[in-house]
Amino acid sequence: MHFIPAADSPEMEKPLDSGLVWFRRDLRTFDHAALYHGLKSARRVYCAFVLDREILDPLVARGLKADRRLEFIVDSLAELDTQLQALTRCPNGGSGGLIVRHAVAREEIPRLAKALRVHAVFANHDDDPTALERDAKVRGTLADAGISFHTSKDHVVFERNEVMTGGGSSFSVFTPYKTAWLKKVDEFYLKAYPVQRHGDALATWPEDWEGDTRRNTGRVPSLASMGFEPTNLHSLKLPVGMSGAQVLLDDFLARIDDYEEARDFPAIKGPSYLSAHLRFGTVSVRHLAREALERAQAGSKGAAMWLSELIWRDFYHQVLHHHPNVVGASFKPEYDAIRWEHGKHADALFAAWCEGRTGYPLVDAAMAQINQTGYMHNRLRMVTASFLVKDLGIDWRRGEAYFADHLIDFDLASNNGGWQWAASTGCDAQPYFRIFNPVSQSEKFDPHGKFIRRYLPQLAALPDARIHAPWLASPLELAAAEIKLGENYPRPIVNHHEARAKTLARYAVVKGRGS
């Protein structure tokens, strides 16, 4: 269900007395669809966020107690609360701002809505299958209580059925999707929601409702109270919250013209580094697309390339909406006939990949980056994924799950789309016979070994010509660099050329079947 119509009108003409805005993957107070529609529709509006135990408790149970994503969220919630308080009318010194709960969201939101005696709950769309299931349960519980549930598009520029083929079906190839996207986009779709104009509808918490909220003086629960531990997030160069997103955006816009050439080289400052902020909505995708489109139209090739990346993001969300079966299965069903390596040997190869012990420096450095920072450069995501699937013969779903656990910017649609692209099992994926050579990729995109040296300091003394493949170095070169292969740096766990032949044979089951 979409939001109810609400015109710009005096407060007395608003159709609802009170509403609750449920924040999810949209942690900002500006250009926010659900917040805007809630403020336009109700005379009193409360705001809430639920740290969902259905998501968090399994992480604790699996021993993943240091989660940078959760720390990013917690820090961003603190800023969101502060900004909401600044917008909230508190004439008698009452409490306002963000109500934060550590609970089961599908139970807590209806409970909060009833306790606050609101007439409607407003939220933004989330097309992840588990989120859709959760929202369906929330909608049903709210309906039983006579409370409506209104959701809006916010996380992408175009969603669901907004960009379709001429025949009315969803796109499965990116280039025609991009053409249709660019043909459709205009000022209307990129216009910001003027939240601040209606901020006076934000209400203070009622005096007679649950005292447990007032005892929660910290508002946002601590990591420890939820069973988690601090991470190294604060030592990384990733500012959090709305203000952090603005800092990164300002920095990127000053160098966006160089993006097309710089984006593939992990040792230089090429990307926007905004992916985590897009994931958690501390920045507006409409604002980013508008900035990119205006610069692209003015002739910036870098901006045009960045806009294309934003369109890829919309594309993968459209694929997930129309083909939810891609979660756990290949977009191209025939690819599920591929026999992947399994057993103890496969487990050992997978562990070496996870821990950066493959003997291929660019792969190992990339895995060190994700393990140490929760981030991986996009070029390296392709390299490491290709290596796992097409050099080691490991099922792409194992790598997808590893990235899902470790990336701060983990987004189901993009992560699944990226892995299926690398594995050639997805829509508009690379051909199965395209297999990245990890050494040539290293030589091309980290020619001087700067990135490798940053994450594999034990290789720092190798000359540039040898750092991409240490096993080809002479005994004198290895001795001068104090490297003992098999001791302080591993030998390659697989021969790339032999692995390539095995991969072509492995994929023979789909040869000639539209691959």
Residues 164 and 49 in one domain: no
- The single-letter code of the amino acid at 317 is H
Query: pLDDT tens digits, residue range 160-210?
Result: 999 999 999 999 999 999 999 999 999 999 999 999 999 999 998 887 655
In the set 396, 400, 415, 416, the catalytic residue is 396
Active site residue 334: no
In the set 216, 371, 378, 437, the catalytic residue is 378
What is the reported pTM? 0.94
Active site residue 312: yes
Identify whether the C-beta of residue 466 lies closer than 8 Å to the C-beta of residue 472: yes
Say which DSSP state 42 is in. Answer: E
- Within-domain flag for 224: no
Query: pLDDT tens digits, residue range 394-417?
Result: 999 999 999 999 999 999 999 999
In the set 312, 353, 400, 421, the catalytic residue is 312
- Within-domain flag for 222: no
Percent of the chain whose predicted confidence (pLDDT) is above 70: 93
Q: Which residues contact 282 (CB under 8 A, 6 or more apart)?
A: 27, 28, 76, 240, 241, 242, 244, 245
How many Å apart are CA 188 and CA 135, to the nearest integer? 28
Query: pLDDT tens digits, residue range 314-335?
Result: 999 999 999 999 999 999 999 9
Query: pLDDT tens digits, residue range 113-172?
Result: 999 999 999 999 999 999 999 999 999 999 999 999 999 999 999 999 999 999 999 999
Query: pLDDT tens digits, residue range 413-446?
Result: 999 999 999 999 999 888 888 999 999 999 999 9
**pLDDT at residue number 3:** 42
- Within-domain flag for 201: no
How many Å apart are CA 468 and CA 473, to the nearest integer? 10
Active site residue 306: no
- Within-domain flag for 395: yes
DSSP states of 163-186 as a string? Answer: S--TTSPPP-SHHHHHHHHHHH--
280 is in which domain, residue-wise?
Answer: 156-192+242-322
Residues 176 and 274 in one domain: yes
How many Å apart are CA 413 and CA 200, to the nearest integer? 36
In the set 107, 159, 260, 340, the catalytic residue is 340
Q: Which residues contact 444 (CB under 8 A, 6 or more apart)?
A: none
Active site residue 378: yes
Active site residue 495: no
In the set 107, 260, 309, 341, the catalytic residue is 309
Residue 181, domain CATH: 1.25.40.80
- Within-domain flag for 174: yes
- Within-domain flag for 4: yes
Residue 11, domain CATH: 3.40.50.620
Q: Which of 107, 129, 154 corresponds to the end of one domain?
A: 154
Active site residue 396: yes
Tokens found for residue 388: 């796992």
